Structure 1
Amino acid sequence: MSPVSLHSLSDPHFSADTTAWLAAIVEDSTDAILSKTLDGTITSWNAGAERLFGYSREEAVGRPISLIIPEERLHEEADIVARLRLGERIGRFETVRCTREAVPVHVEVAISPLRNADGTIIGASTIARDISERLRHANEQALLLSEMKHRVKNLLSIVQGLISIGGRRADDVQTFTEELNARITSLAAAQSLVLHSEDRADDPRRDPRGGDGTLWR
């Protein structure tokens, strides 16, 4: 491949090829990529935007960007436009947009100003990425951690209670140790039984007729 020079960049054929190449990258992106004028009119809409928001290119282009912004988030657009007019590139931030079915979708958005040949800002390009799955996993992890903390706290409270009761009843250290070990062993066995019962209840192979848990498909 021959080296690219400043002269070749001005060649109409090279420019057309480059434009087509960039357009293909945008169109094939898994992210939603769109552009709009400063008054908020959508001017381009790739396949990723169609998948994320549910509107076809024909339905979206020419309509206001408020098409995908929940009413309670419209104030964000005014702030974005004000910053774009100053030439700011708005770094990635998390927000909520809505689909054609009015379903809220959590997205990570990055917005950059678009300029014409004279350098005048005429609009903005937006890249939006669906982060719903990432947030769902984060929430699940937070719930799991909270449950673990709750169980550990309860377990420690029970052990403290056993120590307190055993200390008052035992006549010597050996008796106290033996009784405490026996109580903790019983507690562990009971906990294991509860966990086993929960696992059996959640097992998809369990007979839907219920019963004592011994019937299987």
Structure 2
Amino acid sequence: MNRTEDDEGLGEEVSSRLEEMFGEDEDTGFDEQNSPVRELRALVAGIDWEISDESMGAFLKEIRRLQETYQDDKTLSMFLKLQESVGKYIKAKKAKAHPEAIGFVADVFKNFETVLARPEMQEKEKKRLLSADVKRFKEFKKRVLSPEPAGSQKVSGNTGGRPAAVLDNQEALDYIVEELRKTIKSELQVIQQIIKNLGA
């Protein structure tokens, strides 16, 4: 009896979390069982519960699969690219990832799914959704790469250097900075061109 109650409680908790992430009443236009992004939806929800090499590897693999499927649709490709970029960051930092990272991926997924499910959507609306996510991505990148405020760092007078926690954070960021430098310039150029084309 206790086990049944525990199972029911866990089920309710999972349902509540999925509703919080993706919206309880939002209709994307897809039959959930037949949705072409059902697997990605499950993986995005899974990231919120557990961040591991396995879960993030599966997430990035599914992103790559969908990128091949929708490679001819620049708007859908950019939604996937945004998820991939932040997904790589989460995989690198795992539990130390910025608290907004998972929420960002979930929000971009929602917009991606909405655009995919509504082929009749006006290009202007697609552009609005994509532009909003690109803006959030730029702001997120700035927050991740910004150094901690001087007032928040407690440096011992005997060490003459930064505390261990700050050093550890800097080492973790090195990988992210390098990855972002490799991709962000070309990605933003592509995004700007897509937005320009959508507005034509």
Give the TM-score normalised by the residue count of structure 1.
0.23
Give the TM-score normalised by the residue count of structure 2.
0.24
Higher helix share: 2
Higher strand share: 1
Query: Larger radius of gyration, structure 1 or 2?
Result: 1
